[in-house]
Amino acid sequence: MKPVPMAERMREQWMSHHVRQRLVGVLGILEDIIYVLLAMLLFASALYIVGATLVHADFRSVPNLINSILDRFLVILMLAELVHTLLLFLKTHRFRYQPFLVVGIIAAIRRILVVTAQAVIAPTRIQLRDYLLDLGVTTLVALALTMALRWGPSTDDF
């Protein structure tokens, strides 16, 4: 039987020491508080965006109204997905990458819709090459994120 080195014995003692266990417990509680506060801030931001959209909506121009509401709705959807991600982490204490991919997909779709709506509202200000490049790159990002979500590793792998 091989003797256990002193450093290894000290590490084992520290890992099972009650002070360490209490510190880890307190830090876990503080981490949860940070996530709860962040979720509340994201929720409050979503509510503010809803209110600001209703107050500042341009009801005289239907294209501008649709563009504004669509843009803001997708931002709210992203915030809701982030709140959901934080709640999942608080419940399970396991990191899941899928909600972040969903937020990225929503952001890419939002960009595609906003750029397209802007091109319809003000077609003379948009240069065709820049417009197509923006749409092409954003579409590729959305496809890559979708493929990562569909064929990525399962949650159990983390």
Name the DSSP letter for residue 1.
-
Q: CB-side exposure of 7: number of CA atoms within 13 Å?
A: 0
How confident is the model at residue 44, as a pLDDT? 96
How confident is the model at residue 45, as a pLDDT? 95
One digit per residue, pLDDT tens: the chain, 158 residues? 677 688 888 888 878 888 888 988 899 899 999 999 999 999 999 999 999 988 888 888 887 788 788 888 889 999 998 999 889 888 888 878 888 899 999 999 989 988 887 777 776 666 778 888 889 999 999 999 999 999 888 655 44
Are 85 and 98 in contact by the 8 Å Cβ rule? The answer is no
Measured CA to CA, the distance from residue 109 to residue 22 in angstroms comes to 46
Q: Supply the pTM of this predicted model.
A: 0.71
- In the block, tokens 């990191």 appear at 95
How confident is the model at residue 61, as a pLDDT? 81
Measured CA to CA, the distance from residue 98 to residue 6 in angstroms comes to 43
Are 65 and 59 in contact by the 8 Å Cβ rule? The answer is yes
Name the DSSP letter for residue 5.
P
How confident is the model at residue 155, as a pLDDT? 56
